[in-house]
Amino acid sequence: MKKLNVAIIGQGRSGKAIHGVYFKSDKNVYFNVKYVIEADESRRKLAEQEYPGCIALATYQELFDKKDVDLVVNASYSDMHYSIAKDLLEHKFNVLNEKPFARTRFECDTLIKTAKENGVNIYVFHNTLYAPYYKHALETMKSGVLGEIVQINIYHNNFSRRWDWQTLQKKAGGNAYNTGPHPFGIALGLLDFDEQTRIVYSDLKSTCLSSGDADDYCKVLLRAPNKPLVDLEVNSTDPYCGGMIVKMQGTNGAYKSGVNWFEYKYLAEGKNPPKALIEESLKDADGNPAYCGETLVWEERKGDIEGNAFTVGAPAIYEEIYYNLTEGKPMTTSPEMARKIIEIIETAHAQNPLEMKF
């Protein structure tokens, strides 16, 4: 198997601690890190030590005369994803954008169009859509064991203070753009990425917990025709949640999961016959008022979920990219799906304009 050559733009948390970790792992049998682009000189020196044989460059424009690059990983600042990706696509490079895909629907559409016009591919790193906990929730819902799903709750909450560039609107920071693509992607996935999905309520706030001016409180309700209501939160004001929680309420039971565990209960088949409607006032054997009461028979399931968006999701998406580039095999996630995620986030921001202070 011939390895493909990769160039990584950025050696911050994403470029180094997510993509870099994958490329240096035993799971990477597909790619060779040929170039690293990083403005910081000390990080360039470190990259050449960590990726044997790679060449560190100061700017991504230095890639333009390189003919041995099969894929560019764009792990730059969030506000630079669009401009850098567009430039690379116009120079006929295949590009993998970190999330967020871009800032607006227009930018997403432009990148998709530019890739097609230049005969190259644009990918988006939505590793959560490959994560075992998302797949488990989706499979449980589609199994029908919970009956008709009435409501879905997705929480990606904690209690935390931040003071880095991710708290700035001008950097496309904030919970919605930074963390949001993960839970919003799960929400849209559970709604089959229905193009008619719309926001029915949204609230974004920048609280005193953030040193910047971007949102750290995000509440959104989503609705699609003939689909369950999705209640979604990405908040930094909840010390009781502690990460990602997915809940589904159905007509036959309910489901709850975190990143590495799940539990659900549903009515045991054939053991809970329907009750005939009684229109008169209910009373007991002595004629006293009575209330509807019964002991339901449940089936319950609990267990652990192995792996997460990084240990499983990242290798899965890179494997798909490899076979998409070499054999034309389709991707599980598409840039159009990423565009829908950005559409929701952009709309929430439009509905809740925040004061720009920096």
pLDDT in the model for residue 121: 98
Domains of the chain in start order, with CATH, are 4-126 (3.40.50.720), 129-311+340-351 (3.30.360.10)
Axis crossing angle, helix 181-190 with helix 335-351, rounded to the nearest 10? 110
pLDDT in the model for residue 285: 85
**DSSP for residue 175:** H
- Residue 195: strand, helix, or coil: coil
Q: Which two structure tokens, joined as six digits, stand for 328?
A: 């034309």
Q: Are 320 and 288 in contact (CB under 8 A)?
A: no
Read off φ and ψ for residue 259, nearest 5 degrees. -70, -35
Q: What is the pTM of this model?
A: 0.94
Q: Please, what are the averages of pLDDT over each run of 10 residues along the chain (358 residues)?
A: 96 94 97 97 94 95 96 97 98 98 98 98 98 98 97 94 92 95 97 97 92 95 97 94 93 97 96 91 88 92 96 97 98 97 98 95
Q: Are 103 and 79 in contact (CB under 8 A)?
A: yes
| Residue recorded with tokens 């470029």 | 15
